[in-house]
Amino acid sequence: MIDYSNFGTTQKIIASLAKVGPHAISRWISKHSVKPILSPKESSRKLRYSVEDTRRFFKDSNISPELNKKDIILSFYNFKGGTGKTSICYQVSSHLALMGYDVLVIDADPQGHLSTSLGFDNNHNYPTLSDVVNETVSIQDAIRFVYPGLQCIPSNLAVTRLEVSLNDLPKREERFQILMEQLKGQYDFIIFDTNPTISLLNRNILVCSDHISIICETQPYSLNGLKILMEDMIKFYKGMQISLPDILVVPNKYEDRSSNCAEAMTVLRQFYSNYMIPDFAIRKSEDITTSAKQSLPLAFFARANSIALEDISDLITALLHRFVKDRDTKEMS
Ligand SMILES: Nc1ncnc2c1ncn2[C@@H]1O[C@H](COP(=O)(O)OP(=O)(O)O)[C@@H](O)[C@H]1O
Ligand SMILES: [Mg+2]
């Protein structure tokens, strides 16, 4: 596991995540005499502030909207591999934590790519979801600390066995929903990274999710799968007699000058505009790959003007907005 205590954010990064001018941050820093981490001899532009202080800024300044509900369950989904589920799940989770929320992220893919991004060794021996479902470990004991605000249940190949275990249990599609009850009130967000299969494991995640972000590539060939995915999901929820969660289609790996991407966006808008954030796609950026490889969220290393940071920050803003608004309309009805 990685010790993240020496990592932090710069004023410009905080400003970019908070969508405020850099002066708001510098004023707050001087008012509260906040000390940077590491060498204070750097120019003020380069000084980094701890995760705790970053979170404190967001909380003090009331920038992150208050949610009407605890334990909002988000999932990043697609039964196609390589679309960017894990990458986006990692960035959204790690930055929601920096923005002052309490986040639990659960790796539900036996490949464990999310776990490696979170600083876990490939062959780690920590408990996984598999141990929790088999009741050899309580869910509380399977939770690991990553950095303030961010905790996780890592995965490894043992999670492949989960499919068999779930199959033998009563209410086999609702096991996670029952497990999530045990975490009630502990987190603002519980976030699942899923594996690219149509499995019992994924159906458990669908049942307990409040929101599903379907990450798809902006390539014409990847859109056929999306149609089948949407139809299957709707049929599944109908069959389970539960209402559809909030669903977002998130186009990823968009390239400005690519005609394939432009074509894919046109088709996406034509069929799924109700599920999309207007004029938004996550652009292709080397920072996303570097981030996963180095096990460092964008905020810990990227430049403040990184397009990846900008896109992730926009996605988070749109997600937060939906939850707050969603809850409001539900309460009124
Ligand atoms: N916006 C992006 N820009 C550049 N590379 C990306 C982007 N999103 C994902 N990738 C890369 O695509 C590959 C697959 O991403 P990953 O998140 O592992 O997909 P999935 O979890 O859906 O299988 C990885 O190498 C990742 O770095
Ligand atoms: Mg993945």
| pLDDT per residue as tens digits for the range 267-294 | 999 999 999 999 999 999 999 999 999 9
112: left (phi over 0), alpha (psi -120 to 50) or beta: left
The residue behind tokens 């307990």 is 208
Alpha helices in the chain (DSSP H): 11-18, 22-31, 51-60, 85-98, 113-117, 129-133, 162-167, 175-181, 200-208, 223-239, 259-272, 286-294, 298-301, 307-332
pLDDT digits (tens, 9 = 90+) for 178-203: 999 999 999 999 999 999 888 999 99
- 29/26 Cα distance (integer angstroms): 5
- 17/317 Cα distance (integer angstroms): 9
CATH class (in words) of the domain with range 72-325: alpha beta
Q: How far is the CA of 252 from the centre of ligand 1 (A)?
A: 9
Pinpoint the residues of the chain covered by CATH 1.10.1660.
Answer: 4-61
Nearest atom (ligand 1) to Cα of 87: 17
Q: What is the pLDDT of residue 41?
A: 67
Global confidence as pTM: 0.95
pLDDT digits (tens, 9 = 90+) for 298-331: 999 999 999 999 999 999 999 999 888 544 555 5
Contact 139, 225 (CB under 8 A): no
pLDDT digits (tens, 9 = 90+) for 75-116: 999 989 999 999 999 999 999 999 999 999 999 999 999 999
pLDDT digits (tens, 9 = 90+) for 218-230: 999 888 889 999 9
Whether the per-residue pLDDT at 43 is higher than 80: the answer is no
Pocket test for ligand 1, best of 87, 94, 284 (most atoms within 8 A of CB): 87
CATH class (in words) of the domain with range 4-61: mainly alpha
Pinpoint the residues of the chain covered by CATH 3.40.50.300.
Answer: 72-325
Q: What is the pLDDT of residue 224?
A: 86
Contact 185, 71 (CB under 8 A): yes
- Ligand 1 in reach of 288 Cβ (< 6 A): yes
